[in-house]
Amino acid sequence: MGIKKRERLITETPLNLVPVMDCVFILMFFLLQSAQFIHLYELSSETPVIASVPSDKELEHEPLNLTVKVMERGLEIRSGMQGKLISKISDIANKINQEELSSQLFSIRVKNPLEKFVIIAPEIDIKYEKIVKVMEAVNTLPEGKKEASINDNKGNPLLITKNFEYIVIEPNT
Amino acid sequence: MIITRRKRKKAGCEVLSDLNLTSLLDVLAILLVFLLQSYGASDLSVNLAEELALPYTKIRNFGSISPIVQVNRMRGVWIDGEYKGELEASEDKAADTLDKNIVSSLTATKERVNKELEGKDNHEKSKKEALQVNIVLDKELPYSDVQVVLASCAFAGFGKFKFIVQGED
């Protein structure tokens, strides 16, 4: 009698895996349906809008009109109605210097906290890939930061996640 | 012992061994990890046209459902997966060159959306003001071709351009 009891204690019941397998099967169908083998993301841009200001009406202050000119060998950052040159950024090994562009745009944003638009003006033969890289630099803060706090004109803190929120691609005429 | 086996055979109740599920579970676990890795939270799905290589980006903004305009390396135009012909060439590279296929297809889409919005509340109607279009272009295309696509989309009333790009690992 004593030996039988010990045998009964040692015998292990097999683990019931049926509910686990049911769960895994359901999860698998869901994942198969939503699987993306190429991960696609989007970069936004707005239609350029032309606004004319009557000659008799004077603007309170000159608009920033920040423009990034994309050229074969580099970039130019210009601003103002006359397109005053702020800086030039040369390409490194035929690739745009994204980090430099991003940090320069960030410093411009710090000085103009309420400005949200940047105009990208590519030359006619510039490849689409290069334009995308410029858009990427506009959308990312320098040094891989996810967000940054800047002060608005009244000194109130303003949290930003992009250098500039809106991109307008200028037609090349 | 012999008597017991005979008795069992007579009774017709043979001892069945348990099904070995370990190997199947191993396969499922590997498949699960692989599928979890390729899980995409975006509701946008694009059947990419032939000869179309997307540029890469580190930006992680998920796309949304809108009409899709694709232009491949050979300047072929697809709208919502349907081939429409070759992109209009702008010989003088003028900014106002329009592609008639893109304009007509997107105008038809816009009219359809407007009809669907008829009779709906103002909140829904306000959405039509900001019609957006997903633009899928080959990374080698020159800006002269890109601006034909943009001008055509804008002419058809689609004011928000969403450039679809591939995520960089």
Q: Note the pLDDT tens digit of each residue in A16-59.
A: 878 888 888 888 888 888 777 888 888 888 877 665 656 656 66
**What does the pLDDT read at residue A118?**
93
The larger pLDDT score, comparing residue A12 to residue B58, is at B58
Residues of chain B in contact with residue A28, where contact means CB-CB under 8 angstroms, are 28, 31-32, 35
**What does the pLDDT read at residue B69?**
92
Residue B162 has pLDDT above 70, yes or no: yes
Does B95 reside within a domain? yes
Q: Which residue in the set A21, A32, A123 is minimally distant from B143, CB to CB?
A: A123
Q: Which residue in the set A42, A45, A173 is minimally distant from B61, CB to CB?
A: A42
Does B44 reside within a domain? no
Nearest-by-CA chain A residue for B164? A42
Does B119 reside within a domain? yes
**What does the pLDDT read at residue B39?**
81
Size of interface A-B (CB pairs under 8 A): 155
Domain residue ranges of chain A, discontinuous segments joined by +: 67-169
Pick among B143, B158, B160, B169 to test the A interface (most A CBs inside 10 A): B143
Residue A168, min C-alpha distance to chain B (Å): 10
**What does the pLDDT read at residue B10?**
52
Residue A122 near chain B (CB below 8 Å): yes
Residues of chain A in contact with residue B18, where contact means CB-CB under 8 angstroms, are 14
ipTM given for this complex: 0.78
Does B51 reside within a domain? no
d(CA A8, CA A4) in angstroms, rounded, equals: 6
Both B79 and B162 in a single domain?
Answer: yes
Both B69 and B150 in a single domain?
Answer: yes
Does B78 reside within a domain? yes
pLDDT tens per residue, range A68-117: 999 988 999 999 888 899 999 999 888 889 999 999 999 999 999 989 99
Pick from B66-75, B124-133, B140-149: least confident? B124-133
What's the domain range around B31?
A: 2-37
Residue A154, min C-alpha distance to chain B (Å): 31
Domains of chain B: total: 2
**What does the pLDDT read at residue A30?**
85
Pick from A38-42, B106-110, B129-133: least confident? B129-133
